[in-house]
Structure 1
Amino acid sequence: MRFVVTIFTVFLLFSCEKKTEIEFSSVKITPVFIDSLSIRAIQPLDENKVWFAADKGKVGLIDGDTPKLAVIKYGDSLLHFRSIAATKDAVFVLSIANPAVLYKIGFNGSEATNIEEVYTEKGDDVFYDSMKFWNENEGIAIGDPVENCMSVIITRDGGNTWKKISCENLPKVEKGEAAFAASNSNIAIFGKNAWVATGGRKSRVMHTSDKGKTWEIFDTPIVQGKAMTGIYSIDFLDENNGIIFGGNWEDKPFNEGNKAITKDGGKTWKLIANGKEPGYRSSVKFVPGTEGQRIVAVGSPGISFSGDGGKNWKELSKEGFFAIEFVNDSVAFASGNNRISKLVFKE
């Protein structure tokens, strides 16, 4: 199927010593890109460069003050992107809904060099949610169930080809169980592991310890039972310690059963700050280099921070975002409605 690309040349957290008196006291939020878009997938390269994928077919690289943008059409249709991942030489974007189309965009370090369609899937129930890479060659993307399992596609050749895993080799989902394409963060990667968060009428965590060859699934105490309840985001510090965050999108202040941690690789989960702020959040991240003590969670209600591994939280800003990705221990990019911002956290 043909496609058209139009280029616009407009183109938290203790220290390593765990000094309990040091916390983030504030965050400086600086918009770096403003457009009439819903941006739910970002991939920073450094403190000045960030890739994004959005609705209306738009993808781009924000390079300092210079946005380098492209609009991707599939036939006559504008695609809507909510998944993004990058390797050294390429960035990958994957559209939601039917058809799901995955593009590989060549990258020379400063500009896109070419774009090619590397995977297409058609069907009434097709809807992909997120994408990550283990290394330069192996990557994974997750989508809602088409049959009786989550949709899982894998690449082993640097993203040139992708293959869908048969439901015979995946855990069975329950009726009404799917995933949320809210922030490109319902997959977490560490080593050979991948963890996938589900939500809806059942909210669980799928796990593979061998890069997608075999799978298991674990129950969680996260709120579930309705179409918009469950885990919206998952992150892992190492092969044992992880966090899940979500809630009820239709009742965002509700703060019971919406955040939990694991210390055994996802087998068991324990609720944290239960019945305490914050409520619904769509993206959660351990702050790099802080040994799992500093955590930031963002959502449309605002930015929340924990300096003690999730036990206690405070609000840093009421400015809402869909997704957050850290560059280092104090700088991150966040995306939301109509904008991407650089976040600088201050102690």
Structure 2
Amino acid sequence: MCAAALLVGVTAAPAQADPSPDAGAGSGLRGVGWAVKETGTTSRFRGLAAVSRTAAWLAGSGGTILRTGDGGRTWRDVSPPGAVAEKLELRDIEAFDARRAVALSIGEGEASRILRTEDGGASWTETFRNPDPRAFYDCLTFFDTRHGLAVSDPVDGKFRLLSTDDGGRSWRVLPNAGMPDALAGEAGFAASGQCLVASGPRDVRLATGGGAVARVLHSADRGLTWRATDSTVPAGDPARGVFALAFRDRTTGLALGGDYRADQASPNAAARSADSGREWTRAATPPPAYRSGAAWYPYGRSTALAVGPTGTDVTTDAGRTWRAFDGGSFDTVDCAADGGCWAAGEKGRAARLELLRPWGR
């Protein structure tokens, strides 16, 4: 049985001791936990693309990109030389397979760039460099292998969108006539590559924070027109808002976030929607602290994971309640179609969800 499949059948039995010191703590997931994979680097990985149980990409600080094809036993350093030389902050990576991927670096002006590889990272092509010093790109997402978007914090009072229809080989700025006005102080968070997420061939959502309220914007036409909805996640401060979105399909979604400052509490920082994001409902039992990443488990229609610097939480009722699963620090999480779930974060941490100890032992 695939280890991640055990998430679907969470029991109330105590967790057994695991080889990994922070796996399964208090989760009730008997022997299922994050198996930390040695990456050989101290980069902080906020960009993650899970291709399968065996293949994944990581993107992080110092221009670092790693790729594994053997379940994390070994990692190949495929960092773009120019990104390393300039110490770019790579905060998002989207992979079509084990050879093709698109990565985003963040920052004001020319620090925001998009890079693409077609040969497993042996070579990279810069396909976009931001010419506008007012723009700051946070996240990117793809609807399929051709169509994708990248989002910048507001420019001239509205969020700015880039669009590609050739798999990231070229990009153009979309008109902003269909984008609602941004709130004062509103922006996106480049914390996990999940502030902009596509679901299906045309639907995409954008998460915000920093303004008076944390909003979720929805487009059903690949970014041409948008509808904004207030979430229930607390905002009202530049450090608070929705940091991650995860949609299981066109209608069912999760919003996670809080206050990223370690000395600040993050109450009620999880919400769910069952109507394409038109309304958001607070989780009855939210995670206990700020969470920056979220992912649905593909074989469990009500099962999802949320990660942050203080641990991982799991829901098995579509976001109504969450409970602690692991105490290790992660910034982002992603699950592949075959059920392979990966997480990544600070100090080179990367992990795969595994059955670390057989049942009954």
Most deviating of 337-346 and 54-63: 337-346
5 Å-filtered alignment, 1:165-184, equals 165-184=174-193
Q: 2:246 aligns with which of 213, 216, 235?
A: 235
Q: Secondary structure at the match of 1:34?
A: coil
Deviation at 1:73, TM superposition (A): 1.9
Deviation at 1:333, TM superposition (A): 1.2
Give deviations 1:292-312, integer Å, cap 9, x for gaps.
x21211000101112222232
Q: 2:115 aligns with which of 85, 103, 126?
A: 103
Q: Distance in 2 between matches of 1:74 and 1:298?
A: 27
Please name the residue that 1:218 is paired with: 229
Please name the residue that 1:9 is paired with: none
Does the alignment pair 1:61 with 2:67? Answer: yes
Asked if 1 retains the 8 angstrom alpha-carbon contact of 2:209 and 2:239, the reply is yes
5 Å-filtered alignment, 1:1-347, equals 24-25=29-30, 26-64=32-70, 65-69=73-77, 70-73=79-82, 77-88=86-97, 90-97=100-107, 98-99=109-110, 100-107=112-119, 111-191=120-200, 192-201=202-211, 202-250=213-261, 254-273=265-284, 276-291=286-301, 293-327=302-336, 331-339=340-348, 340-344=350-354
Give deviations 1:26-80, integer Å, cap 9, x for gaps.
4142224131211100112222221111111122212323322224326962311
Q: Distance in 1 between matches of 2:340 and 2:324?
A: 17
Asked if 2 retains the 8 angstrom alpha-carbon contact of 1:169 and 1:215, the reply is yes
Distance 1:14 1:332, change over 3 A: closer
What TM-score comes out, normalization by structure 2 length? 0.84
Q: Distance in 1 between matches of 2:209 and 2:175?
A: 21
| Residue type of the alignment partner of 1:262 | S
Deviation at 1:13, TM superposition (A): 8.4
Distance 1:253 1:345, change over 3 A: farther
Distance 1:24 1:252, change over 3 A: farther
Pick the structure with more strand per residue: 1
Deviation at 1:316, TM superposition (A): 1.6
Distance 1:112 1:174, change over 3 A: same
Q: Which runs of 5+ in 2 are unaligned?
A: 13-27
Q: Size of the alignment, in residue pairs?
A: 329
Q: Distance in 2 between matches of 1:95 and 1:239?
A: 28
Asked if 1 retains the 8 angstrom alpha-carbon contact of 2:256 and 2:292, the reply is yes
Deviation at 1:24, TM superposition (A): 3.3
Q: Which runs of 5+ in 1 are unaligned?
A: 1-11
| Residue type of the alignment partner of 1:24 | L
Q: Distance in 2 between matches of 1:252 and 1:237?
A: 32
Asked if 1 retains the 8 angstrom alpha-carbon contact of 2:52 and 2:340, the reply is no
- State the identity as a percent: 23
Deviation at 1:197, TM superposition (A): 0.6
Pick the structure with more helix per residue: 2
Deviation at 1:255, TM superposition (A): 4.3
Deviation at 1:324, TM superposition (A): 0.6
| Residue type of the alignment partner of 1:106 | E
Most deviating of 160-169 and 188-197: 160-169
Q: How big is the alpha-carbon RMSD for the aligned residues of Structure 1 and Structure 2?
A: 2.5
Distance 1:271 1:345, change over 3 A: farther
